[in-house]
Amino acid sequence: MSAAWHLTRYPILAKKKILLIDRTFEPRDDRTWCFWSMDSVPDPVPVYRKWEKMEVRVLQERMTGEIRETPYYCVKSAPYSAEMQKALEGSGVEFLEGDVLEIKAGNEKAVVKTSSGDFTAGLVIDTIPPNHKQEGELSLLQHFAGWEIETEEPVFDPSTIRFMDFDIPQKAGATFIYVLPYSENKALIEYTLFSDQLLEKEEYAKGIEDYIRDRYPGQMYKVGRKEFGVIPMAPGIYDQPENAHVIRLGQAAGMPKASTGYTFSRIHWLAAKLARDLSDGKRPDLSNPSRLRYRLYDILLLDIIHNQPDQILPVFYHFFKLNRFEMLLRFLDEKTSFTEDLFIMSTVPFAPFIKAIKDRKNLLLREL
């Protein structure tokens, strides 16, 4: 839907026949997407909430700060899908429900085989997500379960997101809680891990229940909608097809940021680039959305999470303690200057990064 919306912004592309294929287009309230950059985000996207203050808890310290320059936005999947579908239908985009069985690229065209028939096109944009676990030299997963809860008493501060709370039992990997407060008594609470293996489903539920009991003792609450997600975290493991008639986008193209998993605004930025390049008659280059230095940073952080788990909390502590949150969010969004990067890197412990450089020198050299 994101790619189709950007294509319809250009008259030369809007005149083409655009077919959107998915298993269902029924809006589903099963995802919450967050981001802090509105660059290239389509006009129809309905922002559910926006926050201008942020909180982080790590090593028993609570840190707070303003993020007015980089507000934190929240979008829910059901209204997003409904509004985008409405906008696309008004632009002449056709919709087809069915299972994609195969995408076959030829010399002049590509064929999409579906349970509802076969379709031929000059260009196929493939957004089918890969398997969760990717084979690679350094490959982790970000996996999480979220509950929307409503408490009987006001316990949340709706002006402040709890971006990361690491002051919980650490599992096999970095483990934290993420809280989006919608009001004083309603919030989304997500139990999140960076590791190479998923947990049993009951362990995610226990993590959320334990957190509610510890942070909001004695509170009665009701559980509303639930969500679950898995995002691959790995550097440079996806490649674009060599065939000119197929382009990958989304998780299929490795667009989640390797060290954070954030994807929503990156997909829209790259979908906009794809549409702009096609309108100019160029083959879009979407092979890797991250510049070299950010890819190197990601490799080092993933190595520390994977091979030095006892060091990751001190790294995060100094990262958040000694830097302005607004600059950190721009850093995570890969929009800082090299000078700002050097300052941020000077605030974190050196030893874990030096060890990661030694351990991952071959992977780092390949990126260079």
What are the tens digits of pLDDT across the range 40-52? 888 888 999 999 9
216 backbone dihedrals φ, ψ, rounded to 5°: -130, 65
Q: What is the pLDDT of residue 319?
A: 96
Residue 26 to residues 14, 31, 82, 308, 363: CA-CA distances in angstroms?
A: 24, 13, 8, 43, 42
Q: Render pLDDT for 250-282 as a digit per residue (tens, 0 to 9).
A: 877 777 888 888 888 888 888 999 999 999 998
Domain with CATH 3.50.50.60 in the chain: 2-53+71-128+237-279
Residue 258 structure tokens: 């390797």
The pLDDT, as a whole number, for residue 132 is 52
Residues 111, 127: Cα–Cα separation, whole Å: 15
Helix/strand/coil for 310: helix
Residue 255 is predicted with a pLDDT of 78
The pLDDT of residue 133: 52
Say how many C-beta atoms besides its own lie within 10 A of residue 68's C-beta: 8
How much is the pLDDT for 136?
59
In this prediction, residue 119 carries a pLDDT of 96
Which pLDDT does position 237 carry in this prediction? 59
Q: Binning pLDDT at 50, 70 and 90, where does residue 366 land?
A: confident
Report, as an integer, the average pLDDT of 312-332: 96
Residues 99, 23: contact at Cβ < 8 Å?
yes
Which segments of the chain belong to CATH 3.30.9.10?
140-233
Mean pLDDT of the chain: 91
Task: Assign domain 140-233 to its CATH architecture.
Answer: 2-Layer Sandwich (3.30)
Averaged pLDDT, 20-28: 93
Over residues 130-159, the pLDDT tens digits come to 665 555 567 888 999 999 999 999 999 999
DSSP assignment of 273-297 equals HHHHHHHTT-----S-SS-HHHHHH
Give the rounded distance of the alpha carbon of 278 from its chain centre.
Answer: 25
pLDDT for 249 equals: 87
pLDDT band at 360 (very low <50, low <70, confident <90, very high): very high
The pLDDT value recorded for residue 19 is 96
Q: What is the pLDDT of residue 284?
A: 83
Angle at which helix 292-307 crosses helix 309-321, to 10 degrees, equals 130
What is the pLDDT, as a whole number, of residue 137?
67
For residue 154, which of 188, 181, 191, 190 has the smallest C-alpha distance?
181
- Homologous superfamily (CATH) of 2-53+71-128+237-279 is FAD/NAD(P)-binding domain (3.50.50.60)
Give the C-alpha separation, 140 to 143, whole Å. Answer: 10
Q: What is the DSSP letter of 368?
A: -
Query: Rounded to whole angstroms, how far apart are CA atoms 304 and 325?
Result: 22
Could you read off the pLDDT of 172-229 as tens digits, one per residue? 779 999 999 999 999 999 999 999 889 999 999 999 999 999 999 999 999 999 999 9
**248 touches 126 (CB < 8 A):** yes
What mean pLDDT comes out for the span 53-75?
96
Rg of the chain over Cα atoms, rounded to whole angstroms, equals 21
Share of the chain above pLDDT 70, in %: 96
Q: Which amino acid is at 89?
A: E
d(CA 306, CA 231) in angstroms, rounded, equals 16
DSSP state of 78: H
